[in-house]
Amino acid sequence: MRKFRALLIIALMIIVSFILQTSLFRFLNIGGISPNLMIIVTVSLSIVYGDKKGTVIGFICGLLCDIFFSDYLGFYALIYCFTGYLSGKFERMIFPDSLKLPLVAIAGSDLLYGFFCYVFRFVINGRFFFGSFIWNYVLPEILYTTLIALIIYPLIIWIYKRYMRPIRESEKNFAKRKSTL
C-alpha cells in the first residue's frame, strides 16, 4: 500500500511540475527564462530514491517534455534519464535534509541540461555561439531554477518524509511492541 501511494505521489509531482512549468512559470519568466521544474523534481527524487529509480523518474519527466515540446522523441528523455542517474549516484553522499548539496546538484544538473541542449540542438546544426548561449540562457536559467528550488526542494522532501518514506524494520518492531502494551 505504501509503495503504491509513493508511486501515485511521484506521478502527481511530475504532472503538477509539468503543468506549472508549462503554464504558470511561462508567465513568470524573466527575460524569456523560466525555471526548469522538471530538473528540480528529477534531482530531488533521485537523491532520495537512488540511481535506478532516478533514471526511471528522469526518463518519464523527459518523455513528457519530448511529447509536448521536442521535434525528436527521446532527446529530453535521454537528458533527464542521465540527470536522474547521476543525481541518484549521490544518494548516499547527500543528506536530503541538507539544502546546500542538493541545490548544487540541481544547479549542476541544469548546467548539464543546458550544455546538452547546446551541443545537440545548436552545434549539430552548425550554430556556434557558446559564450552567448551560456551567458544569456544557461546561467540565468540555473540561477532561476536554483532560487525556485529553495522553495520546492524542501517541499518535496517534506512530502517524501510524510507520505512516501518506506517504514524501517525498527519502526515496525516498535509499533508492534507499542500495540501489545
* 111, pLDDT greater than 70: yes
Long-range residue pairs from 27-34, CB within 8 A, at least 24 positions apart, any chain: 30/140, 30/144, 31/140, 33/137, 33/140, 33/141, 33/144, 34/141, 34/144
Give the residue, 99 or 168, on which the prediction is more confident: 99
Q: What is the pLDDT of residues 18-58, one digit of tens each?
A: 999 999 888 888 888 889 999 999 999 999 999 999 999 99
- Residues 58, 170: Cα–Cα separation, whole Å: 31
Q: Per the structure block, which three cell numbers stand in for 28?
A: 513568470
> H or E segment at 148?
helix 139-159
CATH for the stretch 2-167: 1.10.1760
Alpha-helical (H) ranges within 23-138 are 24-27, 37-49, 51-69, 75-88, 100-118, 130-133
Closest CA to 13 of 125, 179, 163, 181: 163
Where residue 95 falls among pLDDT bands split at 50, 70, 90?
Answer: confident
Q: What is the pLDDT of residues 122-176, one digit of tens each?
A: 766 666 677 777 888 889 999 999 999 999 999 999 999 888 887 665 555 555 5
Instruction: Look at residue 7 in the predicted model and tell me its pLDDT.
Output: 93
Q: Using only C-alpha atoms, what is the Rg of the chain?
A: 18
Could you tell me if 26 and 34 are in contact, meaning their C-beta atoms sit under 8 angstroms apart?
yes
Domain residue ranges of the chain, discontinuous segments joined by +: 2-167
